[in-house]
Chain A
């Protein structure tokens, strides 16, 4: 047999074998190439899915272990049920008033979880209830990631859809990064350590020190201080439990009595890759994350009363936002604190009333 693919090798045994192998490989790749690639990609997804399952199980186990000290078996059952808890968003075919409906639904869901935890373990104080809720939410998020990835994995396997498999594989690094961040957050949530997201709340807490603290609306506190002749209201979520508060509701209530000249907001913000953790970005607008209901309320007040909205973002990654606060973030807090005091004096005049809102999860940060 004369070799065709690799001329010059002569009619040696090894030459025949190599040529047959190459021809076989060529035929296999032509007919089953896509199938082989699909199998390789599915194995990658399968491995990631298995890691997600382990993370979910680890988080549930960790949460149950932490709750063991209360000696209530029902809390474990409640956690298992909570993992499948659903909050149905309102219909948005007629968008008018949908924000208020969403706000109502989210608050109802939160109230229900809060009251059930309190019912099962009546000895808990408010801060402990909030920290347990944060722990539950981390497990919920991990369970959700696992279930969604599993859904698309099974679907793509059933339909043998190459496009679906590629899409799923493309988003997996991001999903895994977020899942690992939630897993890393468990330790902070269970022991009430301040997390990166609390950077805005920490700035407000530093500025609130020494002032008389008042409660306002759900889970918010504020104080009034005099800064170089300006009446400055400082507001944050009530700590040290893991609360984010309702700054929109609180601002609406305060603006009924006070006429604010300007509003400053400080919050933790997700950085882009390559940006430095703890760096500050200044801007305008309602600087607040979440589902958007609080942002809507703040924008409503600011627009109706023509109050300028200024803000600062302390940049960090998602992992840094939900795990214990790093030294870089803490440096950013210090910088934002000094910058905020400077901006209040620069932008307002003596006798003005100014509002400062420190946004974020105030876990491990009192006032």
Chain B
């Protein structure tokens, strides 16, 4: 069964989780910098191996922190990109070939009737259908669904 801790993490509000995550990353950067400075200056130690160990640990800490920040950035960008996806409806007038593109509305379907043609004069017959454009395509704006896994 999924652990209680994981469930709590999933359910906790993002507003608290994100600052906490960045607070931890900040601490990690701070400790890494301290280790790096101590390793470079070699304060109070003549052992070069220890200095090297401090430098390596500091660098590893900094690299991994920046990698985690970059991953977070990519995740947010991906999320925003997905949310921006808009489905569009293309309408065409069969008389004057006027073409219009607008956001999809519930009830739209390909080869169904759309809005009235703004160019054609209103006829005397069945106005409910006569002047209305035909929906010729419905597609996703941006057009790409590819993702990295």
Contact = CB atoms under 8 A, between A and B. Distances in A.
A240 to B, nearest CB: 4
A367 B143 CA distance: 24
B10 interface: yes
Interface string A117-134: 000000000000000000
A18 B10 CA distance: 38
A15 B85 CA distance: 58
Q: Main SS of chain B's interface residues?
A: loop
Interface stretch (B12-20, B35-43, B59-67, B109-117): B109-117
A240 B139 contact: no
Interface residues of B, number: 32
Interface stretch (A47-55, A87-95, A288-296): A47-55
Contacts of B1: 154
A194 B104 CA distance: 11
B129 to A, nearest CB: 14
B6 interface: yes
B126 interface: no
B123 interface: no
Contacts, number: 95
A323 B6 contact: no
A324 B2 CA distance: 33
A9 interface: yes
Contact of B87 (A49, A324, A366): A324
A59 B149 CA distance: 22
Interface of B: 1-3, 6-7, 10, 47, 49-50, 53, 85, 87, 104, 106-112, 137-147, 149
Interface of A: 9, 12, 14-15, 18, 46-47, 49-50, 53-54, 154, 173, 176-177, 180, 184, 188, 191-194, 202, 205, 209, 239-240, 277, 317, 319-320, 323-330, 364-367
